[in-house]
Structure formats: structure tokens, C-alpha cells
């Protein structure tokens, strides 16, 4: 299934920390590009928008390593 999805990798990613995002059948899909066969997480537009808004507001900053 994931072979048909055009994934995008953030320019903030490096070779050790890559997260890819794509869209298929109206859903957002996310996977770890270092282990693409490990599976994907799927979100509808409302869920993804809420996540992005939270990330932009800094709600997940405590999970980031500096």
C-alpha cells in the first residue's frame, strides 16, 4: 500500500530522524522513513489540522530533544 503513496520528508529531518507524510484516499499518512515497513499512522483532515495547530502552538515542545 505505501508504495503508491507520494511521501514528503521535512527539510528539518536528517538521516537519523526522518518522518514522512503523504496523502491517500483522503487521509493523511505518516511513517518513519528509516523503517517504512513498520507501518503507518493515519489521520483524517480534522485530526491532522488539530495536530499541526498544536505543534505550531508549541504544545509538543516538551517531547523534542535539543
User: Which residue intervals of the chain are DSSP H helices?
Assistant: 45-56
Question: CA–CA separation, 52 vs 27, rounded Å?
Answer: 15
What's the pLDDT band for 1 if we cut at 50, 70, 90?
A: low
Contact between residue 42 and residue 28 where contact means Cβ atoms under 8 Å apart: yes
Residue 6 reports pLDDT greater than 80? yes
pLDDT digits (tens, 9 = 90+) for 10-58: 888 877 778 899 999 999 999 998 888 899 999 999 999 999 999 999 9
> What is the model's pTM?
0.79
Please give the helix or strand (H or E) that residue 46 lies within, else none: helix 45-56
**64 vs 8, residue with greater confidence:** 8
Amino acid at each position: 500500500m505505501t508504495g503508491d503513496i507520494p511521501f514528503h520528508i521535512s527539510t528539518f529531518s536528517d538521516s537519523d530522524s526522518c518522518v514522512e507524510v503523504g496523502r491517500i484516499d483522503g487521509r493523511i499518512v505518516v511513517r518513519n522513513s528509516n523503517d517504512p515497513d513498520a507501518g503507518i499512522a493515519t489521520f483524517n483532515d480534522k485530526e491532522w489540522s488539530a495536530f499541526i495547530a498544536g505543534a505550531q502552538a508549541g504544545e509538543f515542545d516538551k517531547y523534542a530533544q535539543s
